[in-house]
Structure 1
Amino acid sequence: MKVLHILSSHGMGWTGGIRATLASLAQTRLASWVEFQLVTQDQAKATLKTWQPDLLVIHRASSWKGIPELLTLKAKARILVEHHYSAGFEQHQVPSSWRFRAMLRLNYRLMDRVVSISQGQQQWMQSDRLVASEKVRLICSSRNLDPFFQVPAKAEPEGLFTLAAYGRFTHQKGFDRLIEAVQLLPIGSVQLLLGGQGPNEQNLKALAQNHPHIHFLGKIDDVPEFLSRCDAVVIPSRWEPWGNVCLEARAAARPVLVSDIDGLTEQAKNCGIEFKPDSCQNLTDGIWQMINASPEQRQSWGQQGRLSAIHAWDDYVNAWEQVLREFK
């Protein structure tokens, strides 16, 4: 069986990323009966001239503009993996829900299957009748987590309580609200390690106003080592269909502080604190609650998080195998 994965030409994610995850998937037992190729949307047409896949798996964002090109991509079947849209995205980014939903319904109708990457996203799709229920399959996003399971658990802070946050510096990720929330806390109560790069970097540094305990560390090449330095991980996203950062934090046995939105809500159960998204005051209160939790409580959250992540990669591979066998 031949499967062609088509990714956005602009890349997706900066730590691990969908390309790395799909490369790892191609090295699992599925390789015994599936031949995978990964291309960008710019390379897809040329590849299809010389390589005829049984199945197209599309990872790029749906749009009105992309529909004509989508119709030119020929294969026996098509799957769309919905990495991009969610209830939170619609709430924060969509001026016309009617037009947005019409675009999604048309794109999804052109697919043989639509893969949701979290339970929250799947519920949004089905409650708003964006796609026929018989087409939807749930494959919660994952990655190879072995290096994260090696991070030692941590009960007591070493000096200042250390929060870690990392990802693309974009509006979606909510790092502006995080910086504002830390600024509301007494100096010396917490330090924030911010890892990442992106278009909002200079604005975020200006917002931090040289705060003595907000540190910008740039691109993080060794994420497990980065997580070993922190006491908790905060994910203040305005929307997040899944959120691999939360999965990585759980695997590293770090308690999480997350926006109560989309795929983050289901991941944080019993392993941290949730707060109202895009709310500086609620995030400040959440940080204060995390700092003042007992070491035993934080350790329990971390242990529960690690336990909940142990089978994440196997579940991901098994779910893909089930979906692919539907087309074998």
Structure 2
Amino acid sequence: MKVLHVLATGGTGKICGIRPSLEMLACSPLGERHRFAMVASEEVNSTLADWNPDLLIWHKACSWKGLPSLIRHRARRQILFEHHYCAGFERHNVPSTLRFRTMLRLSYAAMEQVVAVSRAQRSWLQTAHLISASRSRVLLSSRTVDDFLVLPSPPPAEGRPLTLLAYGRLTTQKGFDRLLRALRLLPDGGLRLLLVGEGPQKGELEALASADPRVELLGARKDIPALLGQVDAVVIPSRWEPWGNVCLEARAAGRPVIVSDVDGLPEQVLDSADGSASSQVGSCGLVVKGESDADLAAALEALLSSTDQQRSAWSAAGRYSARSAWSDYMDAWSHLLDEFS
């Protein structure tokens, strides 16, 4: 079967986005059974004429501007992966819920199926009545994790400061400003932070970090596995996150995580859980239960006060939970494509 993936112009994601996962999928055994191609949205019409795919898969964000294109191709078999919108996005970015949800309902109506990338996201789709249960499904996002699974677990702290890593595009979504302010609420000496990425919030973050010697901004880096091998834990303070491949990578690397209680992040961390009002203890780290800087600072403090044994248990549980992520992802894709073959 010929499958055409449609991405936003230039694709999305440089560190852990959509395009790398699709490239990995094309190089997997599924690439021997199906022919995959990726195009930017403005190339769809010419590619359809030249290549005539059997299935059209949209990965770009829905919009009023893009709606005519989705409707124009509804005679074809097409599905949409919802990488972009979720409850957290709506809460932080949408001034008119009615207008936003109307656009999504019209966009989704052009699809045979809409694929959610986390259980929480699908729950939001259902609760908001954006698409029927019969026309939606969950396919948890992933990427290959072999280069993370081979990393040694973090060594015992033995009195040294714990090194944290946060990485991703430097935007308001990722909440790095919140992380830097939370770190300021803690006394010096216990933690240091490596912040990796580029983006429009770079200047603001540099200003926030300028007076804090515990913070090092490293810019864009491609050697994420190597960086993970140098740290004790990963912080993901996102304001919204439909899934969060950074959390998957940290789990595979055996690094305890601190994540915001938004969208697809908690389901990667929480098992049976207990905790305080400010943080919740999960199988492989902590979930910050509030949105304030103080709530995040309390979670950082909880990590700092945790024992080597607790962090080792988080490390082992996270790595175990991530071992089959890629094979599960390929299996889910295989089932999806078989349904459309």
TM surpasses 0.5:
yes
In structure 2, the partner of 1:252 is 253
- Three-state SS of the structure 2 residue aligned to 1:262 is coil
Q: With the length of structure 2 as denominator, give the TM-score of the two structures.
A: 0.94
Preserved CA contact (<8 Å) 1:160 1:189: yes
In structure 2, the partner of 1:265 is 266
CA distance in 1 between counterparts of 2:31 and 2:14 reads 26
Preserved CA contact (<8 Å) 1:237 1:277: no
Deviations 1:126-181 (A, max 9, x none): 12211011111211000010000011001423732111100000000000000000
- 1:99 equivalent in alignment to 2:99: yes
**Pair 277,227 (structure 1): closer, same or farther in 2 beyond 3 Å:** farther
Deviation at 1:73, TM superposition (A): 3.5
Preserved CA contact (<8 Å) 1:165 1:193: yes
Superposition RMSD on alpha carbons, in Å? 1.3
In structure 2, the partner of 1:21 is 21
Q: State which drifts further: 79-88 or 209-218.
A: 209-218
- 1:293 equivalent in alignment to 2:293: no
Q: What does 1:126-137 correspond to in 2, within 5 Å?
A: 126-137=126-137
Q: With the length of structure 1 as denominator, give the TM-score of the two structures.
A: 0.97
CA distance in 1 between counterparts of 2:291 and 2:239 reads 6
CA distance in 1 between counterparts of 2:31 and 2:228 reads 32
Deviations 1:281-319 (A, max 9, x none): 000000000011010001101110000001100111111
Deviations 1:189-227 (A, max 9, x none): 211100001010011111123311110011121111101
Count of residues in correspondence between the two structures: 328
- Three-state SS of the structure 1 residue aligned to 2:186 is coil
Q: Identify unmatched segments of 5+ residues in structure 1.
A: none
Preserved CA contact (<8 Å) 1:26 1:36: yes
In structure 2, the partner of 1:181 is 182
CA distance in 1 between counterparts of 2:289 and 2:176 reads 14
In structure 2, the partner of 1:141 is 141
Q: Identify unmatched segments of 5+ residues in structure 2.
A: 271-282
Counterpart of 2:265 in structure 1: which amino acid? L
Q: State which drifts further: 250-259 or 29-38.
A: 29-38
Preserved CA contact (<8 Å) 1:45 1:73: no
Deviations 1:208-263 (A, max 9, x none): 23311110011121111101111110000000000000000000000000001100
CA distance in 1 between counterparts of 2:52 and 2:74 reads 9
Q: State which drifts further: 263-272 or 17-26.
A: 17-26
CA distance in 1 between counterparts of 2:296 and 2:25 reads 36
- 1:233 equivalent in alignment to 2:246: no
In structure 2, the partner of 1:274 is 287
Preserved CA contact (<8 Å) 2:71 2:107: no
